[in-house]
Amino acid sequence: MKAVHFGAGNIGRGFIGMMLSKSGYEVCFVTRNRKQVAALRQRQSYVVTTAGDIREHFEVKHVSALHIDDLDEVKARVADADLITTAVGAASLRNVAAQIAPGIELRLQRGTKPLHIMACENAIKASTQLKKWVYSLLPSELHDLADRLLAFPNTAVDRIVPVQRNADPLSVVVEPFSEWVIHKDALLEGFPGIQGAKFANSLEPYIERKLFTVNTGHSSAAYRGYLKGLSTIQEAMQNRQIRSHVEQTLAETSKLLVDKHGFDANEQQRYVNQTIRRFSNSALTDSITRVGRSPLRKLSTSERLVRPAMQAYDRAIPTKHLASSIASALHFDYMADPEAEILQLAIGQKGAKHIIRKHMGIPEEHALHAEIIEQYNRMLTTRD
Ligand SMILES: NC(=O)c1ccc[n+]([C@@H]2O[C@H](COP(=O)([O-])OP(=O)(O)OC[C@H]3O[C@@H](n4cnc5c(N)ncnc54)[C@H](O)[C@@H]3O)[C@@H](O)[C@H]2O)c1
Ligand SMILES: O=P(O)(O)OC[C@@H](O)[C@@H](O)[C@H](O)[C@H](O)CO
């Protein structure tokens, strides 16, 4: 079986590539980094190490690589693939659509083999988004055939993979935990399978549970840690005040998840406890600037902070700690991050209220708006 995976970054190598390889796929990575392409081509394998009480090593074999500019080869591989996956960052999915559309067109002209395409990004309905862009690039006369032969199941992937600083540039150190949930109803007959993946009839509860627990908690720890001048999530979780803030923020999102999706409250609390243990894993070093990266994305309407805050507010669930996490995100002024630079420039020119109104979509008369502004102003002096 042949898989083509876009993005040979941390989660691409540390989770998707590993899972696909374990399931018997030959994985061809398509990526932007030429050195990585050369190394993957030359060695055709790399090692994933799980960092916990016990360190385990897994060799991912039978891999190959293409650069995104190898247009003819990418087209041929896509036309011939059994599965396509991405882990490039949600903002790059539009580029991936342009990279896969020629191969999909060729494949549709040639035959009848079904193809599953999954965007493994931290975003709600990422595969659906990718589908929209791919279809916009396909000739309209192929759309009916595409409806029959292409599936874009939404998916939730979970494994903490920090930025890597290993002597071997291909090897990846990851946490032991992992979870991959796939929308079952979107699968076509002939889905080639992924060992260890879970399947759900409706994906929204799972992606929201992941995003509003793991990613809401993570970003809350990161932005509060950044305010205090800390460097890693592990340091942040050792700080009693930050840990308590993360716990209380997740108490708010847990109430929402239980209320909205009917998760069992005790089960959700176990999930929160496990998540907090994962953040605190001292065998990993995960930088606050990685977890806080792209603050404009993280502060957008459909993301991990604003979406649960607005939904919780509408259900009369407390939002004080979510509002505080949002306020701390507005202080993220790590200028090596292009989105942080744009955010700070916009706050400097138009004020924080403008960002809350225009970017987050929270009107000035909304109670959450006032709460965020109050906490933002307080943090200007207290830094916590
Ligand atoms: N790292 C994690 O813990 C983790 C866990 C779950 C989900 N995710 C999600 O996975 C995605 C990737 O995250 P990451 O941490 O691996 O980031 P990363 O920066 O390590 O990897 C992304 C890779 O994609 C490549 N890329 C970008 N645009 C591309 C394109 N058009 N074609 C091919 N390659 C392209 C980049 O060069 C980079 O190597 C994000 O959406 C992230 O939210 C990350
Ligand atoms: O990848 P992002 O920028 O959406 O979020 C940063 C981290 O919270 C994220 O990468 C987690 O490590 C991951 O989602 C765990 O599964």
Closest residue to atom 11 of ligand 2, CA basis? 160
What separation in Å is there between the alpha carbon of 93 and the centre of ligand 1? 10
- Rounded CA separation 34/188 (Å): 35
With b for 16 or more beta-carbon neighbours within 10 A and e for fewer, the 159-190 pattern comes to bbbbebeeeeebbbbbbbbbebbbbeebeeee
Q: Is 17 marked as binding a ligand?
A: no
Which ligand is closest to the CA of 211, given by its number? Answer: 2
In this prediction the ipTM stands at 0.99
What separation in Å is there between the alpha carbon of 120 and the centre of ligand 1? 9
Closest residue to atom 13 of ligand 2, CA basis? 160
Give me the domains of the chain, ranges plus CATH numbers. 2-202 (3.40.50.720), 205-382 (1.10.1040.10)
Closest CA to 239 of 228, 250, 252: 228
Cβ(233) – ligand 2 distance below 6 Å: no
Cβ(68) – ligand 1 distance below 6 Å: yes
Q: Which residues contact 135 (CB under 8 A, 6 or more apart)?
A: 143, 146
Cβ(178) – ligand 2 distance below 6 Å: no
Cβ(115) – ligand 1 distance below 6 Å: no
Question: Angle, to 10 degrees, between the axis of helix 93-110 and the axis of helix 126-137?
Answer: 60
CA distances 199 to 157, 180, 252, Å, are 12, 8, 27
What separation in Å is there between the alpha carbon of 42 and the centre of ligand 2? 30
Alpha-carbon torsion, ordered 315, 317, 320, 325, to 10 deg: -70
What separation in Å is there between the alpha carbon of 375 and the centre of ligand 1? 32
Which ligand is closest to the CA of 287, given by its number? Answer: 2
Query: Which atom of ligand 1 sits closest to the CA of residue 30?
Result: 33
Cβ(209) – ligand 2 distance below 6 Å: no
pLDDT reported for residue 112:
75
What pLDDT tens digit does each residue of the chain (384 aa) get? 999 999 999 999 999 999 999 999 999 999 999 999 999 999 999 999 999 889 999 999 999 999 999 999 999 999 999 999 999 999 999 999 999 999 999 999 997 789 999 999 999 999 999 999 999 999 999 999 999 999 999 999 999 999 999 999 999 999 999 999 999 999 999 999 999 999 999 999 999 999 999 999 999 999 999 999 999 999 999 999 999 999 999 999 999 999 999 999 999 999 999 999 999 999 999 999 999 999 999 999 999 999 999 999 999 999 999 999 999 999 999 999 999 999 999 999 999 999 999 999 999 999 999 999 999 999 998 888
Q: Is 4 marked as binding a ligand?
A: yes
What separation in Å is there between the alpha carbon of 318 and the centre of ligand 1? 33
Closest residue to atom 35 of ligand 1, CA basis? 7
Cβ(160) – ligand 2 distance below 6 Å: yes
What separation in Å is there between the alpha carbon of 209 and the centre of ligand 2? 14
- Rounded CA separation 257/265 (Å): 9
Cβ(161) – ligand 1 distance below 6 Å: yes
Q: Is 3 marked as binding a ligand?
A: yes
Indicate the residue type of 81.
A
Q: Is 7 marked as binding a ligand?
A: yes
Q: Is 12 marked as binding a ligand?
A: yes
Cβ(8) – ligand 1 distance below 6 Å: yes
